[in-house]
Structure 1
Amino acid sequence: MNAEKLSHRLEAVANNIPEGTRLADIGSDHAYLPCNVVKKGTVSMAIAGEVAEGPFQSALEQVREESLIDKISVRKGDGLEVIQPGEVDCVTIAGMGGTLISTILEQGKSKLEGVSRLVLQPNVGSFAVRKWLIGNGWELIKEEILEEDRKIYEILVAEKGEPMKPYQHINFENGILFGPFLLKEKPEVFKEKWNAEKRNWERILKQLDEAVQNEDTESKRQELKTKLKMAEEALR
């Protein structure tokens, strides 16, 4: 992977960045994504944000190598603190857990003034991102799921709007866990992911059935049974 040829996962993120926008890529690593979309002319300018010194230096070096220092600002800082309100129109956060993405958005939500689109790619825990979007006035407008290098990724695209709109005609809890759009479309990768999760939950449930029973194990058993029932419904 490089700035010319993104991974399948980052290409899908890039495809959801609106043309002509100003981009902030949070947790940019080597800044491949901002370099790619700036070179293609998709965005007019970009900010590549990194909290750690190593990735920050890698991003800076990449931007210099691509001769894009006048169009991409590489900044070191925690999450959204690298941008100012009204500075960008689109924010991408990719390659992190859903809980961490939600924390970044929550801690930096004052910086989202003027941002019209979020493109978020949680590696795990996408339900946490969906919950944050609902609680903060963001409407999920699109979801994608894909497999790359034997790992499955979800991409969530949101804009300011009606947060509950995608959940109107489905079971809300199922929508949060599985994704309202993915639940309707049920592509093969979706089925693959949740069949694997289902097998894992069944394995853990069997272990709990064989363990010493107490209040804690019973609570976990009930939680797993609920999840298994939800997964069976989702996979029908």
Structure 2
Amino acid sequence: MLTFLNALMTTTSFNLPARLRVVAGLVPWGSSVADIGSDHALLPLYLVASGRSPRVIVVEVAPGPYHRALAAVTGAGLTGRVEVRRGDGLEPLRPGEVDTVTMAGLGALTQQEILAARPEVRRRLRRLVLQPQGQAGPLRRYLAACGWRLLDEDLVYEAGHYYFIMAAVPGVSPEYSDLEWELGPLLLQKRHPLLAGYIAGKMEKLTAAVRELGRSQRAAARERREELQRLLLQLGEVSTWLQSAARS
């Protein structure tokens, strides 16, 4: 059995996308996990096969992903350690049944709605590991408002996209500036090496938006243009700071 699990771990790790490897690394050893929106169950299988988690519950709401997860778990011979449940978000979970929830690849707003829908489950968790699609800033703010603080953050560049990954634990969050909420306060503290590239891409899009708004004579367009120009200035200052830190 041990040889089989080692082989499975090697195979699964090889196929595990970089962003999911980071998510897995932020899951505490020995924790019971619920992975919401798992699809092919790559992350749960890896968590169990690697020994990081003794038990994982996979939750899927749509029929296709639910059956794909079931097939993957059955094919790996891990039905006793990875359970697949049909349901919406945290709905199939009992309070206290798991101590860690992972969500990767779901929209940031969707993740926020999932956490908001079952506060009785959320309050019994000890860690959240989230990789949202889209803007991560509002999700960071939501976590702080619900009594969570960021424990760690990472940034992954994969297949032409940047992915924010965050781990949060219950606690009082520090106060952060708007820019820190947007970019990731812990990423800024670490001076993460990928952050400068992410900012450069963001500035390019904002510059194009400012140029487009400049074609309009409407007052609302002028106000929005000035707002974006202020943001560009702030991002430029952060970019310069990151580059100077990299050279020193």
Q: TM-score range by the shorter chain?
A: over 0.9
State the partner residue of 1:66. 76
2 CA distance for matches of 1:218 and 1:102?
32
Q: Say if 1:2 and 1:32, in contact at 8 Å, map to a contact too.
A: no
What is the identity, as a one-letter code, of the residue corresponding to 1:216?
A
1:28 corresponds to which of 25, 28, 38: 38
2:191 corresponds to which of 186, 191, 197: 186
The offset of 1:14, in angstroms, is 0.3
What is the identity, as a one-letter code, of the residue corresponding to 2:149?
E
1:215 aligns with 2:219: yes
1 CA distance for matches of 2:79 and 2:219?
58
2 CA distance for matches of 1:195 and 1:220?
20
2 CA distance for matches of 1:206 and 1:94?
34
CA shift digits 1:205-233 (9 cap, x unpaired): 0111012x223313321331232123123
CA shift digits 1:59-103 (9 cap, x unpaired): 000010011111111011111112110000100011122222112
1:11 corresponds to which of 11, 17, 21: 21
**What SS does structure 2 have at the residue aligned with 1:80?**
coil
1:228 aligns with 2:232: yes
1:86 aligns with 2:57: no
**What SS does structure 2 have at the residue aligned with 1:44?**
coil
2 CA distance for matches of 1:117 and 1:204?
38
Structure 1 unaligned regions, length at least 5: none
2 CA distance for matches of 1:2 and 1:219?
53
1 CA distance for matches of 2:13 and 2:189?
34
**What SS does structure 2 have at the residue aligned with 1:159?**
strand
CA shift digits 1:134-156 (9 cap, x unpaired): 10000101110111112111111
2 CA distance for matches of 1:60 and 1:205?
48
CA shift digits 1:85-136 (9 cap, x unpaired): 0000100011122222112111222212321000001122110110111100
| Structure 1 residues 2 and 231: CA distance shift in structure 2, 3 A | farther
| Structure 1 residues 33 and 105: CA distance shift in structure 2, 3 A | same
1:45 aligns with 2:49: no
Question: What is the count of residue pairs matched by the alignment?
Answer: 230
2 CA distance for matches of 1:223 and 1:48?
43
Aligned CA RMSD, in angstroms, stands at: 1.6
Q: TM-score, normalised by structure 1?
A: 0.92
| Structure 1 residues 2 and 220: CA distance shift in structure 2, 3 A | farther
Q: TM-score, normalised by structure 2?
A: 0.88
Q: Say if 1:174 and 1:234, in contact at 8 Å, map to a contact too.
A: no
**What SS does structure 1 have at the residue aligned with 2:55?**
strand
1:195 aligns with 2:204: no
The offset of 1:2, in angstroms, is 6.5
**What SS does structure 2 have at the residue aligned with 1:162?**
coil
State the partner residue of 1:106. 116
**What SS does structure 2 have at the residue aligned with 1:37?**
helix
Structure 2 unaligned regions, length at least 5: 1-9, 241-248
**Displaced runs of 4 or more, over 2 A:** 1-5, 184-188
State the partner residue of 2:181. 176
What is the identity, as a one-letter code, of the residue corresponding to 2:102?
T
State the partner residue of 2:246. none
What is the identity, as a one-letter code, of the residue corresponding to 2:74?
R
